Amino acid sequence: MAARNDPLPRLRKICLALPEATEKEAWGVPTFRVGGKMFAMYTDNHHGDGIVGTWCKAPPGVQEMLVGANPKRFFRPPYVGHKGWLGVRLDGKVDWDEVAEILEDGYRMTAPKRLCAPLDGKRRD
Residues 6+ apart with CB under 8 A from 45: 51, 52
pLDDT at 87: 97
Q: How many domains does the chain fold into? A: 1
Q: Could you list the pLDDT tens digit for every one of the 125 residues in the chain?
A: 445 589 999 999 999 999 999 999 998 899 999 999 999 999 998 888 888 999 999 999 999 999 999 999 999 999 899 999 999 999 989 999 999 999 999 999 999 999 998 888 765 44
DSSP assignment of 27-52 equals TTEEEEEETTEEEEEEEESGGG---E
pLDDT at 2: 43
- Quote the domain boundaries for residue 65: 3-109
pLDDT at 122: 66
Is 91 part of any domain? yes
Give, rounded to a whole angstrom, the gap between the first and last alpha carbons of the chain.
35
CATH of the domain at 57: 3.90.1150.30
Is 65 part of any domain? yes
Is 47 part of any domain? yes
